[in-house]
Amino acid sequence: MSIYTRRNFVKSSLLGGAALTLVNPANILFPAKGQGKEVTNVSVSTGDDRADMVFRSLKPFSGQIKEAIGNRLVVLKPNNVLLYVPLACTHVETLEGILEFLKSIGKLSNVIIAESSASGSALEGFSNYGYNSLTAKYPVKLIDLDNESFENMYVTDERDFRPHLVRVSSVILDPDSYVVSVARMKTHNTVGATLSLKNIVFGSPIKDPGFTLYNEDKRFSESAKESRPGAVSYKRLLHGGGFHAVNYNMAMLAQKLHPDLAVIDGHTGMEHNGPTLGTAVDHRVCVASQDWLAADRVGVELMGIDFSKIGYLNYCSNMGLGNADLSKIKIVGESIKDHIRQYKLPDNFEKQTVWMNPKT
């Protein structure tokens, strides 16, 4: 039986009611925000040493993480959206901090670092960002998810309200995978902020072999001449033709595509026109939690962003996929209020908030 069938992803909830639920999907289909949620622990650490900061953010959850991993494959999923822009991607030292933590709890024997980059070969990105050095130090494998098996899922497009097939990595969907989202704290020109969930939802759909957004001279281009004719990136279909659909699609897919553990590296964040064209923020903070929504909620707060304007996370909260109520989130470590930075928002941020109104 396929993972997709076994996990019983109900297409009707994603597609059959798309035209109706894009009006206000979370309120129509799901209970009120925060209903019935227990207190969630989120760790916040700060410091100059990125790897040490990450290690310390995970330490409070050592026993719980060890038990949750059990005999499962540990999948470290970095966010390497581009191949030649280090600020947009997961730093090698962030991964090293996690690997050292896994070593400390005796869970380093079955670990991979896996990615499907939005722009080209994940393995090329790994090389560019120094990940190959990790394989010399730790028993870890580097995997391009585009070369692995996939399952079929579906998203909608607000221009036609029809089902659109996307091929999604079986590695991420597999219940025997313990997925760690190793995200970078960044603003985003489509959904406001990209943290642990978006890294998984947009990183899991794969690309056809030969798809690239780079020309021969390594210059980024949305219509790169080097891309194989007919090659498709299934990630692009998640955008769904507009701000309503992209937030809706992300929330619907999050029911099955989400991390078991969220690690958000804000040592050096990205503000303004992220996720690729932004500028650096010297923030020196790290967030970790086994509740990815709680981690993202804290991340948004640390970035000084109005959470009510981040559509997909509000939908996920209303759907009961995690805890986004700060009054029910216990911070372990550093205080949030002492480390808030006002990230400059994308130029089109107010346009993004059209999701808050009915689709006309």
Question: What pLDDT digit, counting tens, does each position of 124-167 carry?
Answer: 999 999 999 999 999 999 999 999 999 999 999 999 999 999 99
Q: What is the mean pLDDT of residues 30-57?
A: 83
SS3 (DSSP) at 351: helix
User: Pairing relation of β-strands 177-188 and 163-169?
Assistant: unpaired
User: Pairing relation of β-strands 163-169 and 150-156?
Assistant: antiparallel
pLDDT category at 31 given cuts 50, 70, 90 is: very low
Q: What is the mean pLDDT of residues 269-290?
A: 97
Residue 26 has pLDDT above 80, yes or no: no
Q: What is the mean pLDDT of residues 105-127?
A: 96
Residue 282 has pLDDT above 70, yes or no: yes
Per-residue model confidence (pLDDT) at position 27: 52
Q: What is the pLDDT of residues 168-200, one digit of tens each?
A: 999 999 999 999 999 999 999 999 999 999 999
Q: Where do we find the tokens 């990940």?
A: 131
Per-residue model confidence (pLDDT) at position 277: 94
Half-sphere exposure of residue 37, counting CA atoms within 13 Å on the CB side? 25
Per-residue model confidence (pLDDT) at position 6: 34
Residue 204 has pLDDT above 90, yes or no: yes
Q: Residue 196 contacts by C-beta under 8 Å, 6 or more apart in sequence?
A: 181, 183, 259, 262, 263, 264, 292, 295, 296, 299
Cβ atoms of residues 346 and 275 within 8 Å: no
Please give the Cα distance from 199 to 11 (Å, whole number).
Answer: 22
Q: What is the secondary structure of 128-195 as a DSSP string? A: HTTTHHHHHHSSEEEEEGGGS-EEEEEEE-TTT--EEEEEEEHHHH-TTEEEEEEEEEEEETTTEEE-
Q: Residue 215 contacts by C-beta under 8 Å, 6 or more apart in sequence?
A: 221, 224, 225, 226
User: Higher model confidence: residue 192 or residue 5?
Assistant: 192
The backbone region for 34, taken as left when phi is positive above 0, alpha when psi lies in -120 to 50, beta otherwise, is left
Q: What is the mean pLDDT of residues 273-289?
A: 97
Closest CA to 276 of 65, 118, 153: 118
For the chain, the farthest-separated pair of C-alpha atoms sits apart, in whole angstroms, at 55
Per-residue model confidence (pLDDT) at position 119: 87
Tokens of residue 197, six digits:
């969930």
Q: What is the mean pLDDT of residues 223-229?
A: 61
Per-residue model confidence (pLDDT) at position 219: 62
Per-residue model confidence (pLDDT) at position 13: 39
Please give the Cα distance from 48 to 238 (Å, whole number).
Answer: 36
**What predicted TM-score, i.e. pTM, was given to this entire model?**
0.90
User: Higher model confidence: residue 102 or residue 120?
Assistant: 102
Return the DSSP state at 357.
Answer: S
Per-residue model confidence (pLDDT) at position 20: 41
Residue 306 has pLDDT above 60, yes or no: yes
Q: What mean pLDDT value characterizes the chain? A: 90
Per-residue model confidence (pLDDT) at position 360: 81
